[in-house]
Amino acid sequence: RKEVEQDPGPFNVPEGATVAFNCTYSNSASQSFFWYRQDCRKEPKLLMSVYSSGNEDGRFTAQLNRASQYISLLIRDSKLSDSATYLCVVNNDGGFKTIFGAGTRLFVKA
């Protein structure tokens, strides 16, 4: 089992749709969690951190379920510019080990 697993993609959605990505992690002692976004041929960029209480930033909502060891990202009212690969990231070992998921590609179409 991979340490961090993401939904296989790609997701193809129309503009305005709501789309949800899930990510599971295997190490129950994992401490911090993030979602990154990577555009084609560019570097990954931090989208948001994920907190136990859940957090929201505009159209984006991140949730963490420690009991089930999964993280989710919800994007509401999708825009064309949301098209990208979304990476789930988990920190273990007191932050000394960072593991990236393989990413889920999203295509938002007009």
Partner 1 sequence: NAGVMQNPRHLVRRRGQEARLRCSPMKGHSHVYWYRQLPEEGLKFMVYLQKENIIDESGMPKERFSAEFPKEGPSILRIQQVVRGDSAAYFCASSSGQLEQFFGPGTRLTVL
Q: Does 21 bind partner 1 (CB under 8 A)?
A: no
Q: Does 9 bind partner 1 (CB under 8 A)?
A: no
Measured CA to CA, the distance from residue 101 to residue 58 in angstroms comes to 24
Closest by Cα among 2, 28, 4 to 86? 4
* Beta carbon of residue 64, minimum distance to partner 1 (angstroms, whole number): 15
Instruction: Report phi then psi at 94, rounded to 5.
Output: 65, 25
Q: Does 60 bind partner 1 (CB under 8 A)?
A: no
Which C-beta is closer to partner 1: that of 45 or that of 109?
45
* Beta carbon of residue 17, minimum distance to partner 1 (angstroms, whole number): 25
Closest by Cα among 101, 94, 95 to 73? 101
Residues near partner 1 (CB under 8 A): 31-32, 34, 41-46, 49, 87, 91, 94-103
